[in-house]
Amino acid sequence: MLRTLIKNAIIVTMDPQRRILKNTDLLIDGSTISAVGSNLKESADKVVDGTGRMVLPGFICGHTHLYGIMLRGAPLDIKPTTDFLQILDRIWWKVDSAFVNEDAYASALASCYEFIRSGTTCFADTYSGPGSIEGVLDAIAKGVTEVGMRGILAFEATERNSKSEGARGLKENVRFIKKLQQEPNDLLTGMYSLHASFTLSDELIQKTREQADKLPSPLTIHTSEGLIDVYHNIERYDKRTVERLFDLGVLGSDVVLAHCVHVNHDELQLIKGSGATVAHNPMSNMNNAVGVTPVKEMYELGIPVCLGNDGFIFDAIENIRTAYLIHKVHHLDTRVTTPQQIIEMATINGAQVYGLGEKIGSIETGKQADLVMLHPNPKVTPILPEGVYGYIVYGCTAHDVEQVFVNGKQVVENHKVVSVKANVVEKALERVVPKLWEKLGITTE
232 Cβ contact partners less than 8 Å away, ≥ 6 residues apart = 197, 198
Q: Is 39 exposed, middle or buried (0-12, 13-18, 19+ CB in 10 A)?
A: exposed
> Is the domain of 52 the same as that of 68?
no
> Is the domain of 53 the same as that of 127?
no
146 Cβ contact partners less than 8 Å away, ≥ 6 residues apart = 109, 419, 420, 424
> Is the domain of 261 the same as that of 235?
yes
Beta strands 20-29 and 3-12 are antiparallel
> Is the domain of 166 the same as that of 118?
yes
Q: Is residue 183 part of a domain?
A: yes
Model confidence band, residue 288 (pLDDT cutoffs 50, 70, 90)? very high
> Is the domain of 52 the same as that of 77?
no
The answer to whether 186 and 203 are in contact (CB under 8 A) is no
Examine the fold and report which residue of 321, 353, 385 is the final residue of a domain before the chain moves on.
353
pLDDT of residue 41: 86
333 Cβ contact partners less than 8 Å away, ≥ 6 residues apart = none
pLDDT of residue 417: 97
Examine the fold and report which residue of 313, 332, 353 is the final residue of a domain before the chain moves on.
353
pLDDT of residue 1: 80
> Is the domain of 272 the same as that of 375?
no
What are the CA-CA distances from residue 261 to residues 135, 156, 282 (Å)?
Answer: 32, 19, 10
Model confidence band, residue 25 (pLDDT cutoffs 50, 70, 90)? very high
The answer to whether 319 and 346 are in contact (CB under 8 A) is yes
Residue 333's SS3 state is coil
Q: How many domains does the chain have?
A: 2
Model confidence band, residue 253 (pLDDT cutoffs 50, 70, 90)? very high
Dihedral angle sign, alpha carbons of residues 410, 414, 416, 418: negative
Closest of 422, 348, 277, 386 to residue 13, by C-alpha: 348
Residue 196's SS3 state is strand
pLDDT at 76 over 90: no
> Is the domain of 20 the same as that of 147?
no
The answer to whether 431 and 107 are in contact (CB under 8 A) is no
Bond preceding residue 378 cis, omega within 30 of 0: yes
Mean pLDDT of 226-249: 97
pLDDT of residue 442: 87
Which range, of 224-228, 235-239, 396-400, 439-443, averages the lowest pLDDT?
A: 439-443
Distance from CA of residue 60 to its chain's centroid?
6
The mean pLDDT value of the chain amounts to 96
| CATH number of the domain residue 205 falls in | 3.20.20.140
Q: Which structural domain range is residue 376 located in? A: 3-57+365-417
pLDDT at 312 over 90: yes
pLDDT of residue 77: 82
> Is the domain of 106 the same as that of 175?
yes
> Is the domain of 88 the same as that of 229?
yes
Mean pLDDT of 356-377: 97
pLDDT at 285 over 80: yes
Q: What share of the chain is helix, strand, coil (3-state, %, to 5)?
A: 40, 20, 35
Which range, of 81-90, 313-322, 323-332, 345-354, averages the lowest pLDDT?
A: 81-90
Model confidence band, residue 19 (pLDDT cutoffs 50, 70, 90)? very high
Which range, of 21-25, 72-76, 159-163, 394-398, averages the lowest pLDDT?
A: 72-76
Roughly how many angstroms between the first and final C-alpha of the chain, as a whole number? 49
**Alpha-helical segments (H) within 238-380:** 241-247, 265-274, 282-287, 295-301, 316-331, 339-345, 348-353
The answer to whether 417 and 113 are in contact (CB under 8 A) is yes
Q: Indicate the pTM of the whole model.
A: 0.97
